[in-house]
């Protein structure tokens, strides 16, 4: 399966919608999109259409979480489903990552916390 990545800005946050499978073959695509599209310190990964993620995908998400945090920003993860959410739990990173039910919730909580 392939990986598709859409990108837009919502309420000042870069939102990348990731669909398909994120694995060793497709991680370079998401990595390149993150490098080119995330120009600020805040981003949301919309994983609602991501069917599968392996350890290389997890490593990329954790790396971006660290990179943005070091710059005073934040990476939020929205709408992780089934196997992807289970991977976060099994890797014991669900508490480290900022997981949200939806992009709207992730972005709204960011707006609310800025007030």
**What is the distance, to the nearest Å, from the Cα of residue 4 to the centroid of all Cα atoms in its chain?**
13
pTM of the model: 0.92
Phi, psi of 94 (to 5 degrees): -60, -35
Q: b or e along 43-75 (b: 16 or more beta carbons within 10 Å of the residue's beta carbon)?
A: bbbbbbebebbeeebbebbbebbeebeeeeebb
Are 14 and 43 in contact, with CB atoms under 8 Å apart? yes
Non-local (6+) Cβ contacts of 1 within 8 A are: 20, 21, 51, 52
Per residue of the chain (115 residues), give pLDDT as tens: 799 999 999 999 999 999 999 999 999 999 999 999 999 999 999 999 999 999 999 999 999 999 999 999 999 999 999 999 999 999 999 989 989 999 999 998 765 655 4
Of residues 47, 67, 60, the one with CA closest to residue 4: 47
Q: Are 96 and 68 in contact (CB under 8 A)?
A: no
Instruction: Classify domain 3-106 by CATH architecture.
Output: 2-Layer Sandwich (3.30)
């Amino acid at each position: 399966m392939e990986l598709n990545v859409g990108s837009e800005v919502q309420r000042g946050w870069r939102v990348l919608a990731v669909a398909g499978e994120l694995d060793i073959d497709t991680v370079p695509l998401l990595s390149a999109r993150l490098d080119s599209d995330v120009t600020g310190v805040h981003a949301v990964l919309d994983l609602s259409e991501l069917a599968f993620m392996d350890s290389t995908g997890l490593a990329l998400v954790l790396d971006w979480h660290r990179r943005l945090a070091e710059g005073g920003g934040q990476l939020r993860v929205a709408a992780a489903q089934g196997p992807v959410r289970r991977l976060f739990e099994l890797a014991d990173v669900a508490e480290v990552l900022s997981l949200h039910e939806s992009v709207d919730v992730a972005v709204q909580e960011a707006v609310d916390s800025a007030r």
